[in-house]
Amino acid sequence: MRSRLHRRLLLLVVPLAASALLVARRRLVVVRVRGTSMVPTLQPGDRVLLRRAPAERLRRGQIVVLEPIGLEGQWGTGPLPDPAAADWLVKRIAAMPGDPVPEEVVDQQGLPAGTVVPPGQLVVLGDGVHSSDSRVWGYVPFDRVLGVMLRPLSSMS
């Protein structure tokens, strides 16, 4: 009787655990930090856990992981690459659609004072002194964001 109960529990628990693992693998990603653009918040070699997030869940101040801009200075289109198959950028959201563009971005991009971030776009900045970010590239399309950092995992430097 007891072994029958154990088998029934296993038949219930194993599929549920497998489903939960599958959902977690789709929503959670680990990315390694490269470069110094987020120092002192994150160091080169740190690994960060991120949650894939739709555009409507992004907020100013969050650290996000995004696809790098192309060599031609154009953002990619279509689906993002596999998280394990690409180098990713880690930056902080400085402004959302409708927010004023930060002064340092206005200056570097030659925008008129009082410019606001257009719909579907973000302004991102590195926390570090040396960072390629919206000061260099301008706006970042929402669809180039892989996810939002939940927490650092470890340093591998």
Q: Are 157 and 129 in contact (CB under 8 A)?
A: no
Q: Is 155 a catalytic residue?
A: no
If you ran DSSP here, which 8-state letter would residue 99 be given?
Answer: S
Q: Residue 74 CB: number of other CB atoms within 10 A?
A: 9
Q: Is 91 a catalytic residue?
A: yes
- Among the listed residues 19, 37, 134, 154, the single catalytic one is 37
Alpha-carbon distances, residue 120 vs 1, 113, 138 (angstroms): 59, 20, 13
- Residue-wise DSSP of 69-93: PPTTS----SSPPPGGGS--EEEEE
- Among the listed residues 91, 134, 154, 157, the single catalytic one is 91
User: What is the torsion angle, in degrees rounded to the nearest 10, for the CA atoms of residue 142, residue 146, residue 150 and residue 153?
Assistant: -150
If you ran DSSP here, which 8-state letter would residue 116 be given?
Answer: B
Q: Which residues are catalytic?
A: 37, 91
